[in-house]
Amino acid sequence: MFFALHALILVTLTGLQAIVYERGGQHVSTIGVLVGAGIMTATVASAAMVVDHIPESLAAPEANAGATLPWYSLLNWLYLLSGVKLAVTFFKYMPQVWWRMMVMVIADVLHVRILFICL
């Protein structure tokens, strides 16, 4: 649970830094803002549902003993947070992976051309 909350706090701080610090001519795209707002809305809404469900399960734990967990349980909320962290990490590092792949392809093509010229 600590890791998921830690990730949420760090992602929120990173987003706040993007808002507060000078960016020059750069700006966040409309799609990025909409996706970020959607993720934060889903996270806060699901957290509210989990908090709303906790008193019921604490009041009568024997009534919930054999029942299946509802989709808005604490565990599923933590899975949601880990999915958000995974998605943010993926989109954060994908441009770097793409750039390195393109550089390697160009370097391989140049290397092959040099070999053919030398032979």
Give the global pTM. Answer: 0.55
AA letter at 38: G
pLDDT of residue 41: 92
Pairwise CA distance, residues 48 & 59, whole Å: 18
Q: What is the pLDDT of residues 76-115, one digit of tens each?
A: 888 888 888 888 888 888 888 888 888 887 777 777 767 6
Which ranges of the chain does DSSP label H, i.e. alpha helix? 2-20, 30-59, 74-118
72 pLDDT band, cuts 50/70/90, is low
Of residues 75 and 16, more confidence is placed in: 16
CA distance 42 to 31: 16
Could you say which DSSP state residue 70 is in?
Answer: P
Q: What is the pLDDT of residue 63?
A: 56
Of residues 106 and 63, more confidently modeled:
106
Report the first-to-last Cα separation within the chain, whole angstroms.
61
